[in-house]
Structure formats: structure tokens, C-alpha cells
């Protein structure tokens, strides 16, 4: 699974929602800009953490043996 675009997509979706809600609530442009930058940074970090967790989980799943019998065969081959 390609997890590279997760931080960017998370950040952009949060930014779009923030802009729409800011315009609907009639925020001043400078105030909306400050909020938008804060939201973009926070959600980029959240997306980055999500990406790292998914990468770690996917690598762990790939490295584990498919079933217990294969795991036993590997350990017996290493001993001999």
C-alpha cells in the first residue's frame, strides 16, 4: 500500500474544510490565515504520524510468517 500521500491529503482536506467554514462564519482574512496555517501544520503532523504507524504495521505484517508451520520450518532450518 502506498502511504506517501496520506499526510498531504489529510492536510489539504482539513485546509479546505477550514476555509469553507471560515468564509461561512465571515472571519477576517488575516484571522482566517492564522487559523489556516495552524490547522495545516497540525493536520500535517497527524497525517505524518498516521503514515508512520501504517508503514510500521504493514512492514510488521509482511515480515511475519504466513502461518505457524512455516515459522517452525524456518526455525528448524536455522538450527541445522
Give the span between the Cα atoms of 34 and 46, in whole angstroms.
19
Q: What is the pTM of this model?
A: 0.74
Q: What is the pLDDT confidence band of residue 77, given thresholds at 50, 70 and 90? A: low
- Tens digit of each residue's pLDDT (9 = 90 or more) over 28-66: 999 999 999 999 999 999 999 999 999 999 999 888 776
**pLDDT exceeds cutoff 60 at 80:** no
Amino acid at each position: 500500500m502506498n502511504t506517501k500521500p496520506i499526510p498531504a491529503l489529510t492536510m489539504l482536506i482539513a485546509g479546505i474544510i477550514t476555509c469553507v467554514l471560515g468564509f461561512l462564519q465571515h472571519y477576517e482574512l488575516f484571522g482566517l490565515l492564522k487559523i489556516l496555517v495552524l490547522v495545516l501544520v497540525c493536520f500535517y503532523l497527524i497525517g505524518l504520524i498516521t503514515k508512520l504507524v501504517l508503514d510500521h504495521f504493514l512492514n510488521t505484517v509482511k515480515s511475519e510468517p504466513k502461518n505457524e508451520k512455516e515459522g517452525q520450518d524456518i526455525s528448524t532450518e536455522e538450527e541445522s
